[in-house]
Structure 1
Amino acid sequence: MIAGLPAGLTARPLTLDDARAVHAAIAAEEEVDLGAAELTLEDVLADWRRPSYDIATSTIGVLDGDELVAYGDLSGPGVAYAAVLPAHQGRGLGTAIAGWLQATARARGYAAIGAQVPEGSAADRLLADLGYTVRWTAWDLELPPGAGVAARPMPDGFAIRDAAEGDRTAVWSLVEDAFGEWADRERMTIQDFGARVWGRPGFAPWNLRLLESPAGEPVGAVHVFLAGDAGYVARVAVRPDHRGRGLAPPLLVDAFARAREHGAQRCYLSTDTRAGARGLYERVGMVVASTWVNRAKDL
């Protein structure tokens, strides 16, 4: 099933019951690489519960007895995730998992495979050694504790509110249209989008906010939720024909305010060189908290 494992270790496909152990492995790596864990258990579950996703054929877990010590996940076309408990790094587990992920991706007909890892981390060094090259650089930007973003007035007649259930198709279309401008990103179905947004464990109405024009049309949206003590803005989008009107900053201000109302001590989001939005976020007071690289390899 997976070649190159040290003697005494076993491998098997994962199940939903393994989500907590997988999250623990990811968190252990992030604590070493970033100083704190960022990904949550809810993130793992939301991704695995997508209707298009088959956990049994898309994952591999490596076990030492009953303990999960490493895992690999072919999340979608060309998108992979993996983690190895720090105490088990240097044993060849990352290389073995990378081989399994590449073989699985080839069997599915994918042209390439890639993963996003903290810059300079053990995973970054391993992928570089395996011939993965950098496609883009990404950053987590944080609004530090106690810092605020000055209120930004919107053009007259625009308003932000919770997205109702009947707005979900419009929000999905708006966000996917915006993110679909990136040539290397496939459009997500509304079912998979919903699994990651309103189907995410703990979803509440304030997590999905809609920006309406004076005519009542949806022209912007933001998805924000709590990740531990932080408010995380997972998605923010403005319809192309309404860009350049100063609508994105009010959406961010609103998202951060909603998160803090619900207990967030700090707020953060992610962006990368494809979006060209880092300057916008820094201008409203956000600072780079971590730097990542997306590495890929042709198959």
Structure 2
Amino acid sequence: MPETPELPAGLTTRPLRTSDATAVHRLMAAQELEDIGEVAIEEADIVSDWAKPSHDLAARSIGVWDGDTLVAYAELMGADRADTSVLPSHRGRGIGTWLAHWLQDLGRRVGSSVIGMPVPQGSPGDRLLEELGFHVRWTSWVLKLPAGATIPERELPEGYVVRAAEPGDMRAAHDVLEDAFLEWSVRDREPYEDFEAATLGRPGFEPWNLRVAVDGDGQVVGVSLVLVSDNGSTGYVDRLAVRADQRHRGIAQALLVDSFAQARAHGTTTAELSTDSRTGALGLYQRVGMVAESIWVNRAIDLT
């Protein structure tokens, strides 16, 4: 890449602190509202990510301030997952380019071979990253179940039930999720401690949020993490997985039905989830009546 540019005069930088979560949320919300017309990020998403024991926020983040206002930030989680945001009022000043260079320098220092980040397709961030040589790794869709719509129920195999996870289910639930996601995701296995901190430690988490499908012997064979938006209107299926040897038996759809029903019982009127082109699951969700609300691309650049 070209030589790292200078930040505009008058801006200051420092690593982020956990006390900056509200400021980061405000920044990301302003960018999402500008780019996709709605705010999807919640402060609890940021807090739960930062609660993971493996994440060194001070060493892997940077905030850019204009006086007392956070106008941009970037961070790198794990080997390659970057997140960045620039306040719409401060775009066009080279801040995003500076952050892209900062992330690459950090990635090289920690031994990453590639870094990538999600951006709304066609957004200013998408166009900037393309200009800087970032390629599309995969495409993601945020899908919504329209208000009033229902997903046809699927009968579970005999002896199977879907229920709230119990304390003794947690490690098995983590294994089901990780085994499934690592079939198509190239990353290290998530430590159980990170899963526990980001799930049970998420602000507002309640036991009913983590749903499990269990077989007749009480073994966890499927998992769904369903959350409720801050305004209480939307149930969001954050993660959904079924053990490989138990697929094609209606378990995933039964978990979806249960998740959306539980969310509605807790006051929501719509439901959402996200999937990407690595999973091949888009058609499944469209067939049960979900529609794409926004499209995102993960743009990445090789560091070797």
Q: TM-score, normalised by structure 1?
A: 0.97
User: Residue 56 of structure 1 aligns to a residue in which SS?
Assistant: coil
CA contact (8 A) 2:5 2:94 kept: no
* Residue 56 of structure 2: aligned partner: 54
* Residue 147 of structure 1: aligned partner: 149
Q: Deviations over 1:55-74 (max 9, x none)?
A: 11111000011110000111
Map 1:112-191 → 2, pairs under 5 A:
112-191=114-193
Cα distance in structure 1, aligned partners of 2:122 and 2:56: 31
2:247 maps to 1:281? no
Q: What runs of 5+ residues in structure 1 fail to find an aligned partner?
A: none
Map 1:1-299 → 2, pairs under 5 A:
4-228=6-230, 229-299=233-303
Cα distance in structure 1, aligned partners of 2:146 and 2:27: 27
1:34 deviation in Å?
A: 1.1
User: Residue 250 of structure 2 aligns to a residue in which SS?
Assistant: coil
1:125 deviation in Å?
A: 0.5
1:174 deviation in Å?
A: 1.0
Q: What runs of 5+ residues in structure 2 fail to find an aligned partner?
A: none
Cα distance in structure 2, aligned partners of 1:57 and 1:253: 41
Cα distance in structure 2, aligned partners of 1:177 and 1:12: 37
Cα distance in structure 1, aligned partners of 2:211 and 2:140: 24
Identity between Structure 1 and Structure 2 (%): 52
Q: Deviations over 1:63-103 (max 9, x none)?
A: 01111000011122111000011000111110011111110
Cα distance in structure 1, aligned partners of 2:157 and 2:80: 41
CA contact (8 A) 2:121 2:295 kept: yes
Two-structure CA RMSD over aligned residues (Å): 1.1
Q: TM-score, normalised by structure 2?
A: 0.96
User: Residue 178 of structure 1 aligns to a residue in which SS?
Assistant: helix
1:246 deviation in Å?
A: 1.4
1:183 deviation in Å?
A: 4.5
CA contact (8 A) 2:79 2:187 kept: no
User: Residue 87 of structure 1 aligns to a residue in which SS?
Assistant: helix
CA contact (8 A) 2:53 2:194 kept: yes
| Number of equivalent positions | 298
Q: Mean alpha-carbon deviation: is it higher for 274-283 or for 179-188? A: 179-188
Cα distance in structure 1, aligned partners of 2:250 and 2:67: 56
Cα distance in structure 2, aligned partners of 1:48 and 1:3: 29
